[in-house]
Structure 1
């Protein structure tokens, strides 16, 4: 399933790919192709969640603007799990 990513979501994924330093290249590549497996989706969701915890929340534990963007991206990627096996 090919995801309809916004330019901003693509930018966030590019940044996460750089931070990941090549450890999960196939997960990022397959997401772009629309062919990510459930385990690759899990990997990407874990990376997004980690980014959210480090950069996406305010001292009050509410999401900042970037955190809201990460939540939206996470929702979009997770939605592909509901569509059935890849």
Structure 2
């Protein structure tokens, strides 16, 4: 999986390491974040969206990243979008 590093939590020196990459092969955004507590995971699993079953499939996960990483997410989304247009 050829990953393109996009950004890491600017507070990473404090032991935090949420990270964002782009998978150049699949053109997907890849996110490393914190595992949610059971309450947040249950809330996400119970959330109802029209046309979507409740629950979290076994092959998916809920992750948390800090809001200070929004610039890295924007950069990742822009990079993925540009690659898609090629």
Which TM-score bucket, shorter chain as reference?
0.3 to 0.5
Structure number with higher helix proportion? 1
The normalised TM-score by structure 2 is 0.32
TM-score (norm 1): 0.32
Which structure has greater strand proportion? 2
